[in-house]
Structure 1
């Protein structure tokens, strides 16, 4: 490959998820646009994925379609060995002539999924519950000593433990 930019378009369906050894996603349809920028020292891969996945609601156990949009990047630097440095940067062998991007596409789709899988009809109900909880104020700790000292005394009550520590400091 020459040092320049390459564009690839891919479509992923149910067969894509069946081929991977995973049990998170069984059904879904995605279109992925990959921009590969090759230079002498690295490959920059930009993935833009749009589609939907079939999830099962955590509350009702009913299946529903969840739209997913992912826009991620990964950098593959050329080196002497294969090693993952960070989530976005990996080292690949200089002699690598093929890169399987399926694992990256799947990882980005999986990371785009919500942690709490709720049917869209239940989300507005859940949001209303969250708002009512935020309106309530719960007093966890109160110090009435602060209110008693508000009568203008210039001397503050000092905890006897702090008084003992001050004596040690003075020696």
Structure 2
């Protein structure tokens, strides 16, 4: 966890008011969390810390991209990331992070590590179903896409004429109408 020291903010020496921090996130960051879903990452995190007498307010803003594989074609593409998160840090008798928007830290603490919150912000900003933008606009040409197109059910096959119906079924239909 030594690599995450740069995400530790010592707030005890800061004056009351707003303070800005910027972090550049790449694959090295995700390797420390052993998260290997991203081929490449380039995300900028802007963190605005507002120090008040009894609490801290942290406003995270993420923008950039992560390179992921498409769920349909397995083609890599850059997924844009734009997301925000607000965290309130209060002081109490013991550490408590049960609430996702409120963190309670002991009274004697003098710093906070925001790496876990940055990690969660970026991972949760990626859509659950990752679809290459070239699929939606029809510009992506891939062997997998052509095979999917080939195997997809065709509308022409669904509409059968009366000639294609097995004649034995016609005899059974007569039983219904011969009452």
The TM-score with structure 2 as length reference comes to: 0.65
Number of positions where the alignment pairs a residue of Structure 1 with one of Structure 2: 125
The residue aligned with 2:135 is 122
Structure 2 residues without counterparts, runs of 5 or longer: 1-13, 139-179
How far did residue 13 of structure 1 move? 1.2
Choose the corresponding residue for 2:111, options 84, 98, 102: 98
The equivalent residue for 1:39 is: 52
The residue aligned with 1:88 is 101
Whole-Å separation in 2 of the counterparts to 1:21 and 1:82: 25
Higher relative contact order (CA 8 A, sep 6+): 2
**Could you say if the C-alpha distance between residues 60 and 16 of structure 1 is closer, same or farther in structure 2, counting changes exceeding 3 Å?**
same
RMSD between aligned residues: 1.5
State the 1:66 CA deviation: 0.3
Instruction: Specify the SS of the correspondent of 1:2.
Output: coil
Question: For structure 1, which runs of at least 5 residues remain unmatched after alignment?
Answer: 126-171
Corresponding position of 2:36: 23
- 2:83 is the alignment partner of 1:70: yes
Q: What is the Cα deviation at residue 4 of structure 1? A: 1.7
Q: Find runs of 4+ consecutive structure 1 residues off by over 4 angstroms.
A: none
Q: CA deviation at 1:108?
A: 0.7
**1:53 and 2:53 equivalent?**
no
CA offset at residue 79 of structure 1? 0.7
1:121-171 CA-to-partner distances (Å, cap 9, x unmatched) read 11346xxxxxxxxxxxxxxxxxxxxxxxxxxxxxxxxxxxxxxxxxxxxxx
Change (3 A) 1:25 1:76: farther
CA apart distance, 1:21: 3.1
- Greater CA deviation, 10-19 or 28-37? 10-19
Question: Relative to 1, partners in 2 of residues 1:94 and 1:17: Cα closer, same or farther, differing over 3 Å?
Answer: same
Following the alignment from structure 1 to structure 2, what is the Cα–Cα distance between the partners of residues 26 and 62? 11
